Amino acid sequence: MLRLAFMIWLALATCHAALLQILDLNQLTKESSAVVHGRIEASRVEWNTARTRILTVYTVRAERYLKGFLGPTFELTELGGELHGLAMRISGAPHFRLGEEAVLFVWTDGVRGRQQAIGFEQGVFRVRRDPRTGMKLLSRSAPLQKAGEVTSSGRGAGAVEGRTDGELSRFLAQVSQAVERTEGVRQ
């Protein structure tokens, strides 16, 4: 009974209204501290300092930086996870498998110094290999269907010209162009 009461308290303590803006590729790039093509090497689950939220901390091995530099490996901290029999799930928060490859648009929290994917799943482009051709393709999760109120930025709804799948090499070229366009504009 105590466990159920704690789970209800935890759910209520973490419920907040959210307004999430859909970002296009230029916005993702501009607002990111780093853009990196990498692979998930490890993960651990822990409480935040106040013990009100469960966090999953992923170790990412960088294969290539398109913007910024966080080192050969860095930690990506995301909301949610399972710890001591308690689970916390946040709609739209990215979760990764060990060995998973992705292009990550990373934001660094200026107060805590933690890195996380910008805009929840918006900042995550997962890489997979086509079984027929062997070509590396990327895919993106469905747009945050249950993540609170979602609004368009008004500057282009699709991060990759409306596409959610495509060749990794073409996407990396688009990101490189976006970095060139936005680096001079960063405030």
pLDDT of residue 175 exceeding 60? yes
Q: Give the integer Cα–Cα distance in Å for 102 and 41.
A: 12
Tell which CATH classification among 3.40.50.1100, 2.40.50.120, 2.40.50.100, 3.50.50.60 matches the domain 18-183: 2.40.50.120
pLDDT of residue 11 exceeding 80? no
Q: Provide the β-strand partners of residue 36.
A: 65, 104
Q: How do residues 139-162 score in pLDDT, each as one tens digit?
A: 876 555 444 444 444 444 344 444
Q: How do residues 96-117 score in pLDDT, each as one tens digit?
A: 999 999 999 999 988 888 999 9
pLDDT at residue 187, as a whole number: 43
DSSP characters over 121-149 = GGGEEEEEE-TTT--EEEE-----TTSSE
Domain ranges in the chain are 18-183
b or e along 33-42 (b: 16 or more beta carbons within 10 Å of the residue's beta carbon)?
Answer: bbbbbbbbee
pLDDT at residue 165, as a whole number: 60
**CA–centroid distance for 89 within its chain:** 15
Question: pTM for the complete prediction?
Answer: 0.78
pLDDT at residue 79, as a whole number: 95
